[in-house]
Amino acid sequence: MKKIILTGDRPTGKLHVGHYAGSLKRRVELQNSGEYDEIYIMIADAQALTDNADNPEKVRQNIIEVALDYMSCGLDPEKSVLFIQSQIPELCELSFYYMNLVTVSRLQRNPTVKTEIKMRNFETSIPVGFFTYPISQAADITAFKATTVPVGEDQMPMVEQTREIVRKFNSVYGETLTDPDILLPSNKACLRLPGIDGKAKMSKSLGNCIYLSDSKDEIKKKIMSMYTDPDHVQVSDPGKIEGNTVFTYLDAFSNEEHFGRYLPDYANLDELKAHYQRGGLGDVKVKKFLLNVLLEELEPIQNKRKELEKDIPYIYEVLRNGSICARNKASETLDDVKKAMKINYFDDEELIKAQSEKYGSDK
């Protein structure tokens, strides 16, 4: 069986270090591993519109931002198909048929949708499109026959929902769809990177992000304002590591070589943590170290972005070509689905023959 990746992001803002840690960095590694036969990376504009219906300009403007972020991180259009969701109408058709296989109560139980409804104050006015987006995500994943979906932890319920739809479809209509596996980050801190405010998830919609394209000054300002341990008032106070966002980011991004370069008094993160917990280590010193680590990680990405920004028409061309390629693949799957569901009337000569015989047609 072919190994195929499908994943993507909503164009609701520029990409942030949470995306990078949770999914983007891994995607580039998987792309360059040469182990995958096909890789599809989707800019999910149709999904972004499910909770931004009144702000299409925001979605339109952010397509290019996400594409630039992708390619500056190393996604390569020669190796991965970069495309825009709305340009693949087959995805809507698939969603429409999958809707028959999911109950309202099953969607209401989806923990990610529950959290997001609360976050957006949608309790009494949930757009139907938003409510059903896990089904549209199942269409995205299955359209490309994806075997692997590399995403952050918040996407677990979505992939689980997809697997249920696949099994239901295959049991009702016969073996047609591919059952995908989720691929989560192996580093625990990257599963769900918190925001700089310490909130559970860095998210474009919460405005608590460090963006991949933030300037050095912006990154510095954000890191210096980051949530740490509120009881760690004096340098001499013992500090807490759990829930301390600066240390979570160091878990996500730092390695021993960084210590050699920027903080040689400590051999590794465990030593730094132990000192913080004992007392005698100030937040500013730890934050400065994190700043160096992040700037080192982001510098090559930002330099590449500056190069790519010089030829914006090329980026749109990449997306146009990717969308054509993605559409071909999705339309093959849609043909399989329609055949399995017996709604391929005009390709089915047997059907026409049988009906003719039934009515005694002599043509």
Give the shortest CB-349-to-ligand ATP separation in angstroms.
44
Identity of the residue, 25 or 329, whose beta carbon is nearer to ligand ATP in the bound complex:
25
Identity of the residue, 101 or 141, whose beta carbon is nearer to ligand ATP in the bound complex:
141
Give the shortest CB-180-to-ligand ATP separation in angstroms.
13
Give the shortest CB-271-to-ligand ATP separation in angstroms.
26
Give the shortest CB-141-to-ligand ATP separation in angstroms.
12
Task: Report the chain's terminal Cα–Cα distance, integer Å.
Answer: 44
Identity of the residue, 59 or 337, whose beta carbon is nearer to ligand ATP in the bound complex:
59
Give the shortest CB-89-to-ligand ATP separation in angstroms.
22
Give the shortest CB-49-to-ligand ATP separation in angstroms.
11
Length, in residues, of the chain: 363
Identity of the residue, 85 or 228, whose beta carbon is nearer to ligand ATP in the bound complex:
85
CB count, 10 Å around CB of 335?
13
Identity of the residue, 22 or 134, whose beta carbon is nearer to ligand ATP in the bound complex:
22
Give the shortest CB-12-to-ligand ATP separation in angstroms.
4
Give the shortest CB-139-to-ligand ATP separation in angstroms.
17
Identity of the residue, 114 or 353, whose beta carbon is nearer to ligand ATP in the bound complex:
114
Identity of the residue, 12 or 162, whose beta carbon is nearer to ligand ATP in the bound complex:
12
Identity of the residue, 61 or 303, whose beta carbon is nearer to ligand ATP in the bound complex:
61
Give the shortest CB-362-to-ligand ATP separation in angstroms.
60
Is the separation of the CB atoms in 63 and 319 below 8 Å? yes
Residues of this chain that bind ligand ATP (CB under 6 A): 9-10, 12, 18-19, 21-23, 151-152, 154-155, 192-193, 201-205
Identity of the residue, 12 or 239, whose beta carbon is nearer to ligand ATP in the bound complex:
12
Of all residues in the shown chain, the one whose CB is closest to ligand ATP is 22
Q: Please give, one letter per residue, the 3-state secondary structure of the chain.
A: CCCEEEEEECCCCCCEHHHHHHHHHHHHHHHHHCCCCEEEEEECHHHHHCCCCCCHHHHHHHHHHHHHHHHHHCCCCCCCEEEEHHHCCHHHHHHHHHHHHCCHHHHHCCHHHHHHHHHCCCCCCCCHHHHCHHHHHHHHHHHCCCCEEECCHHHHHHHHHHHHHHHHHHHHHCCCCCCCEEECCCCHHHCCCCCCCCCCCCCHHHCCCCECCCCHHHHHHHHHCCCCCCCCCCCCCCCCCCCCHHHHHHHHHCCHHHHHHHCCCCCCHHHHHHHHHHCCCCHHHHHHHHHHHHHHHHHHHHHHHHHHHHHHHHHHHHHHHHHHHHHHHHHHHHHHHHHHCCCCHHHCHHHHHHHHHHHCCCC
User: d(Cα 177, Cα 280) in Å, to the nearest integer?
Assistant: 58
* 34 CB burial (10 A radius; 0-12, 13-18, 19+): exposed
